[in-house]
Amino acid sequence: MVSEIPEVVVLRLPLYVRALSRLQDESAGVISSQELGELLQITPAQIRKDLSYFGRFGKQGKGYTVSYLLGELRQILGLEREWSAVLVGVGRLGRAILSYPGFTPAGFRVVAAFDVDTNQIGKRVDGIRVRDISELEDAIKRDAISIAIVAVPASEAQRVIDRLVQCGVKAILNYAPVSPQIPGDVKVRNVDPVLALQTMTFHLKNLELAGKRPEGKRGKF
Amino acid sequence: MVSEIPEVVVLRLPLYVRALSRLQDESAGVISSQELGELLQITPAQIRKDLSYFGRFGKQGKGYTVSYLLGELRQILGLEREWSAVLVGVGRLGRAILSYPGFTPAGFRVVAAFDVDTNQIGKRVDGIRVRDISELEDAIKRDAISIAIVAVPASEAQRVIDRLVQCGVKAILNYAPVSPQIPGDVKVRNVDPVLALQTMTFHLKNLELAGKRPEGKRGKF
């Protein structure tokens, strides 16, 4: 059963797809789990175990055929089709998201953008007309959109996400600096570069502390 | 020893800081691990265990004093000071990063930006003058910068990251769609909204498949 596949495995699959795509661009024919592991800094055993959830893709001692494995993984992840998404929040961050160059080549198309700001509504940003948020539910239901990108202020995020969930959105890419509450059948991924930086300053600080003290005296922090 | 703290714990600390900051803004005085857990969708036991790596912050049955715990965690994460960062790559993505509104309020300041494109060099983007990448090493060493943000094409990323590591950068926020190789004392965090979307389409696809098949017939995927 698909539902029994550990979430950590699902989180790694796009990394495999990305690496295999590059290998295919470089005309690589076959790759071993060792080589793939080195590229991704994942152990070969982990790669073999991850893939074994979905079938047998490699031949004993022969490795994986790049194009075949890539095709299968794209199929498994649902990447063989285009996905439409809506954006909620077209402030500075929302506009940066609309101009993000990575979505379209990967098959993700922002088809509508919404805001509450009457100065924004009706304007065009990167080819998308900003609509009144009151049209959100109708637009999502009409086009059966299942992906939303949220770039509203923290104070508004939960309310907006509740509305999105209510009208059937099942996947939320959340740029608002909050950890939203969502029902079990909805997925959320948070994009937060500040949070990422804050997980690294811990190490920077400790490297500095370590550097300032002589090796022998380095005590308990 | 700080180095013995599991990385997953370090990854959660900024979430605690963010939640506690909001609680402080709302004038909350004390919070229990239960309440904090509900906000963050983390079990209270996990929160207590995470915090126990750094000391005793709560009183038995009384919960945590919001301002005290926030101050301590900010201290532990090195967030009581400002951090300078350089940006490499000032294409479309790099410009979106320079206009990202979240860094400055969080104490992260992009102090220099570099590119190879002679059409970009010398221009100002959001108040930052774009410099020739040949000046990278000197600038980083002179100001003892330890954080770099990388927004170059995938094909250039590893080479740029090698240069950054070589001149002493210890923390890399990587927007290039690659998994870079780095030495053990350097941290890298990848920001990739496409990868995040691709981990959700797996679930969307399976929800669709589940919806299309009658319950009894749902077979092995």
Chain A CB within 8 Å of residue B129 CB:
no
Residues of A in contact with B185 (CB under 8 A): 207
Hunting for tokens 């943000």 — which residue is that?
B149
From the candidates A140, A201, A213, which should be mutated to test the interface with B, based on the most B CB atoms within 10 A? Answer: A201
Sign of the torsion formed by the C-alpha atoms of A96, A86, A88 and B206: negative
Do the chains contact at B102 and A177, CB–CB below 8 Å?
yes
Do the chains contact at A171 and B10, CB–CB below 8 Å?
no
Parallel, antiparallel, or unpaired for β B30-31 and B187-190? unpaired
Chain B CB within 8 Å of residue A103 CB:
yes
Do the chains contact at B187 and A200, CB–CB below 8 Å?
yes
Chain A CB within 8 Å of residue B206 CB:
yes
Q: Give B135-181 as a 3 state SS string.
A: HHHHHHHHCCCCEEEECCCHHHHHHHHHHHHHCCCCEEEECCCCCCC
> Considering CB atoms only, which of A170, A196, A198 is closest to B79?
A198
From the candidates B175, B198, B205, which should be mutated to test the interface with A, based on the most A CB atoms within 10 A? Answer: B198
> In chain B, what are the domains?
2-77 (1.10.10.10), 83-194 (3.40.50.720)
Contact B125, B90 (CB under 8 A): yes
Confidence of residue B215 (pLDDT cuts 50, 70, 90): very low
pLDDT digits (tens, 9 = 90+) for B148-201: 999 999 889 999 999 999 999 999 999 998 889 999 999 999 999 999 999 999
Residues 133-192 (B) with a CB less than 8 A from some CB of A: 146-147, 149, 154, 170-171, 173, 177-179, 181, 185, 187, 189, 191-192
pLDDT digits (tens, 9 = 90+) for B55-93: 888 777 788 999 999 999 999 999 999 999 999 999 988
Distances, alpha carbon A77 to alpha carbons A48, B34, B165, B206, B209, in Å: 17, 36, 34, 9, 12
Q: Identify the pLDDT of residue B2.
A: 52
Do the chains contact at A204 and B147, CB–CB below 8 Å?
yes
Q: Identify the pLDDT of residue A218.
A: 37
Do the chains contact at A191 and B187, CB–CB below 8 Å?
no
Do the chains contact at A101 and B83, CB–CB below 8 Å?
no
Q: Which residue of B has its CA nearest to A193?
A: B191
Q: What does the block give as tokens for B83?
A: 């951090």
Chain B CB within 8 Å of residue A212 CB:
no
Q: Identify the pLDDT of residue B216.
A: 35
Do the chains contact at B193 and A181, CB–CB below 8 Å?
no
Q: Identify the pLDDT of residue A57.
A: 85
Q: How far apart, in whole angstroms, are the C-alpha atoms of residue B160 and residue A38?
A: 19
| Complex prediction ipTM | 0.88
Q: Identify the pLDDT of residue B114.
A: 98
Query: Identity (one letter) of the amino acid at B207?
Result: L
Low-confidence ranges of chain A (pLDDT < 50): 1, 213-221
B24 pLDDT exceeds 60? yes
Q: How far apart, in whole angstroms, are the C-alpha atoms of residue B5 and residue A207?
A: 14
Which element (helix H / strand E) includes A190? strand A187-190
Q: Identify the pLDDT of residue A161.
A: 98
Hunting for tokens 């790669």 — which residue is that?
A47
Q: What does the block give as tokens for A75?
A: 């199929």
Q: Identify the pLDDT of residue B4.
A: 82
Q: Identify the pLDDT of residue B96.
A: 83
Chain A CB within 8 Å of residue B106 CB:
yes
Do the chains contact at B197 and A189, CB–CB below 8 Å?
yes
Q: Identify the pLDDT of residue A213.
A: 43
pLDDT digits (tens, 9 = 90+) for B111-136: 999 999 999 999 999 899 999 999 99
Do the chains contact at A200 and B193, CB–CB below 8 Å?
no
Do the chains contact at A207 and B170, CB–CB below 8 Å?
yes
Chain A CB within 8 Å of residue B51 CB:
no
Chain B CB within 8 Å of residue A43 CB:
no
> Considering CB atoms only, which of A85, A146, A196 is closest to B189?
A196
Beta bridge partners of A63: A59
Q: Identify the pLDDT of residue B59.
A: 75
Chain B CB within 8 Å of residue A57 CB:
no
Do the chains contact at B3 and A99, CB–CB below 8 Å?
no
Chain B CB within 8 Å of residue A9 CB:
no
Q: Identify the pLDDT of residue A221.
A: 35
Task: Quote the minimal CA–CA distance from B151 to chain A in Å.
Answer: 11
Do the chains contact at A103 and B3, CB–CB below 8 Å?
no
B219 pLDDT exceeds 70? no
3-class SS at A213? coil
Q: How far apart, in whole angstroms, are the C-alpha atoms of residue B135 and residue B143?
A: 12
